[in-house]
Structure 1
């Protein structure tokens, strides 16, 4: 037996705002043809992120976080800048002491999405 994938579930206050942000700014697409009330499933490449409706969510108190690995962090960062995606002020693209090159963004509900790439792998190739 082995684990094969993970699809994190994050809170959202407004489905249309969340969908617009992930689809039009980050390049995600909807999963399937069926819309579910209070639930949203999105994908990009090999990842999925699901969202559940939480209208009373206070963004200042939201601790939703996801770490997403990528194979080209510099290109992803550049594409986000070209799409006017706001990079978290404390999460600009940088190589971290733990060996990851990464950056972070906040979605409309203050879910922290960090994108990372193994800096050691980058040096070797």
Structure 2
């Protein structure tokens, strides 16, 4: 039986990725080990893992994660307050498929879309 999923996304700079997720998005580092080329972060019931990819081309990175939340407006407002840029095509909106969503890009152009059923 499947019980969880932990997406793995590319990162070019571990310190920048860690700073963004911990200080801007409110994640915490997961685990006690500190690997040079790997990072694990957690917030509430989700984890995201990152692997070092020195030659990542930001213009062609297709890394994407869809994250469900039960307080989309509160989370959106917290990111606005912290001046986290919202994707120009991903402002908070109700979508035809019955979700309220918004999107951001992390420092490595991984697209994070947050959604809540309406």
1:65 counterpart residue number: 64
Q: How many residues are aligned here?
A: 118
Q: For residues 32 and 98 of structure 1, what CA distance do their matches in structure 2 show?
A: 36
Alpha-carbon offset, residue 33 of structure 1:
1.6
Please report how far the alpha carbon of residue 37 of structure 1 lies from its aligned counterpart in structure 2 after TM superposition.
Answer: 1.8
Task: Give the Cα separation in 2 of the matches to 1:65 and 1:34.
Answer: 25
1:77 match: 76
Alignment partner, residue 54 of structure 1: 53
* Helix, strand or coil at the partner of 1:18: helix
> How far 1:34 moved relative to its partner?
1.2
SS at 2:9 equivalent: strand
The structural deviation recorded for 1:32 is: 1.5
The two structures have a TM-score, normalised by structure 1, of: 0.93
* Unaligned segments of structure 2, at least 5 residues: none
Give 5+ residue unaligned stretches, structure 1.
Answer: 120-125
Larger radius of gyration: 1
- Which residue number corresponds to residue 15 of structure 1? 14
Deviating more after overlay: 105-114 vs 28-37: 28-37
Q: RMSD of the alignment, in Å?
A: 0.5
State the TM-score, normalizing by the size of structure 2. 0.99
Q: Aligned partners of 1:54 and 1:103: how far apart in 2?
A: 26
Aligned to 1:102: 101
Question: Alignment partner of 1:59: what SS?
Answer: coil
